[in-house]
């Protein structure tokens, strides 16, 4: 599986100026190369190098590797055969495509980039879960784009990670939140809320009795009970969120949750059919919302990243083969894939799907 990590760079004003000038010169060179390619109808890398390498080197005073990268950028732009009928131009601050000869990740917080003034070392900021992936990339290395977007510099770094779910679990902690089991993780652990549920049930019965009575003292007792119930739920939420964040931090993983904002909006718009009953109950439950809040702020305090993913079909998808079928979810507890017969606990299956989607989220859509 290929990931593109988007990493923010923090160059000094002087470095920023150097980078911009390097980009401008690089893209100027691309424009000249593009013209040569177009006029000669030559779009292969080796042919273009033969045709213009020395000219470009002399004209733009770029390092040889930089010239090779500029030619590669032009070739890539012309790679689609149906787009060869007009001249391609390149914006002055368009991305520079680096390779590991001219860009090196020195450590988790520094990158060395070749500029017109030679190599410069630029600070970068990497969050914990990216750092984990970067540790992997430090060995692999590959093509990296330097981009300038809205006045900020970014590296777009392509990393290849193993495709097995076991390995995804090493980077992402998928968490499925529910009613019966408050939280289930992709590690296969349950964080139960049975105590809360029992207390609630007891209180519910008591409430009915007291409400029937309707006396002043009954009302007082009722109020106290309700407070105790919410205090207890808050305690449980604190415990569970704390534990989840500890697990994620201890194993340097990002927490992946379902993005329920989208669901809530869809539910509001009247598309009720897409929202199952338990989900509606969960959404209306205050303590459920509170748990998500707790996870979020504790994670932030601990430097653990929380990723939100599309919740659609997480409980109907097989975490092993990806087959989607409503019938695979036999009941509340059991998942048996109708395609590959993979059988496991339904909540763990959902948590695994959530973890996997976390991996998909870091994949880029914005990389040009
Ligand atoms: Zn399956």
Domains of the chain listed by start with CATH number: 2-160 (no CATH), 166-361 (3.30.420)
What spacing in Å lies between the alpha carbon of 365 and ligand 1's midpoint? 28
Query: What digits encode the pLDDT tens for the residues 334-352?
Result: 999 999 999 999 999 999 9
What spacing in Å lies between the alpha carbon of 340 and ligand 1's midpoint? 4
What spacing in Å lies between the alpha carbon of 335 and ligand 1's midpoint? 10
pTM of the model: 0.53
| Cα(62)–Cα(64) distance, integer angstroms | 6
DSSP 331: S
- Backbone φ and ψ of 59, nearest 5°: -65, -40
Query: What digits encode the pLDDT tens for the residues 105-131?
Result: 777 678 899 999 899 999 988 765 566
Kindly state the average pLDDT of the residues 156-184: 74
What spacing in Å lies between the alpha carbon of 345 and ligand 1's midpoint? 13
Task: Give the angle 153-99-7 at the CA atoms, nearest 5°.
Answer: 30
What spacing in Å lies between the alpha carbon of 167 and ligand 1's midpoint? 18
What spacing in Å lies between the alpha carbon of 347 and ligand 1's midpoint? 15
What spacing in Å lies between the alpha carbon of 259 and ligand 1's midpoint? 24
**Is the pLDDT higher at 205 or at 315?**
315
For 188, the 3-state DSSP assignment is coil
pLDDT value of residue 271: 42
pLDDT value of residue 300: 77
Kindly state the average pLDDT of the residues 222-228: 80
Q: Is the pLDDT score of 283 beyond 90? A: no
pLDDT value of residue 264: 53
pLDDT value of residue 278: 54
pLDDT value of residue 59: 95
pLDDT value of residue 93: 93
What spacing in Å lies between the alpha carbon of 245 and ligand 1's midpoint? 30
Average pLDDT, the chain: 82
**Is the pLDDT higher at 15 or at 163?**
15
What spacing in Å lies between the alpha carbon of 184 and ligand 1's midpoint? 20
What spacing in Å lies between the alpha carbon of 317 and ligand 1's midpoint? 8
**Under a CB-based contact definition with an 8 Å cutoff, are residues 173 and 125 in contact?**
no
What spacing in Å lies between the alpha carbon of 153 and ligand 1's midpoint? 42
pLDDT value of residue 135: 58
Q: Is the pLDDT score of 266 beyond 50? A: no
Residue 269 burial by Cβ neighbours in a 10 Å radius (0-12, 13-18, 19+): exposed
């Amino acid at each position: 599986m290929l990931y593109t990590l988007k990493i923010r760079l923090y160059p000094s004003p002087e470095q920023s100026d150097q980078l911009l000038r390097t980009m401008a010169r690089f893209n100027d060179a691309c424009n000249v190369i593009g013209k040569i390619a177009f006029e000669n109808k030559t779009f292969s890398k080796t042919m273009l190098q033969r045709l213009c390498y020395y000219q470009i080197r002399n004209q733009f005073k770029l390092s040889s590797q930089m010239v090779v990268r500029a030619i590669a950028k032009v070739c890539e732009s012309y790679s689609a055969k149906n787009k060869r009928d007009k001249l391609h131009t390149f914006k002055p601050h368009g991305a520079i495509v680096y390779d590991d000869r001219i860009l090196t990740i020195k450590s988790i917080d520094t990158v060395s980039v070749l500029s017109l003034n030679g190599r410069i070392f630029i600070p970068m900021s990497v969050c914990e879960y990216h750092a984990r992936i970067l540790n992997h990339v430090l060995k692999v290395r590959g093509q990296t784009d330097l981009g300038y977007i809205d006045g900020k510099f970014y590296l777009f770094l392509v990393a290849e990670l193993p495709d097995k779910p076991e390995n995804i679990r090493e980077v992402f902690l998928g968490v499925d939140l529910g009613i019966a089991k408050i939280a289930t993780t992709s590690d296969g652990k349950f964080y139960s809320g049975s105590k809360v549920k029992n207390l609630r049930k007891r209180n519910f019965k008591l409430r009915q009795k007291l409400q029937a009575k309707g006396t002043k003292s009954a009302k007082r007792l009722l109020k106290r009970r309700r407070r105790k119930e919410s205090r207890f739920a808050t305690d449980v939420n604190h415990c569970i969120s704390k534990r989840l964040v500890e697990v994620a931090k201890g194993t340097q993983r990002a927490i992946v949750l379902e993005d329920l904002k989208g669901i809530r909006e869809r539910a509001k718009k009247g598309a009720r059919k897409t929202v199952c009953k338990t989900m509606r109950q969960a959404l209306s439950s205050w303590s459920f919302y509170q748990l998500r809040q707790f996870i979020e702020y504790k994670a932030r305090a601990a430097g653990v990243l929380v990723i939100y993913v599309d919740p659609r079909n997480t409980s109907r998808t097989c975490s092993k083969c990806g087959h989607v079928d409503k019938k695979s979810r036999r009941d509340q507890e059991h998942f048996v894939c109708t395609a590959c017969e993979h059988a496991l606990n339904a909540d763990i299956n959902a948590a695994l799907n959530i973890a996997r989607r976390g991996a998909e989220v870091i994949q880029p859509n914005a990389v040009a």
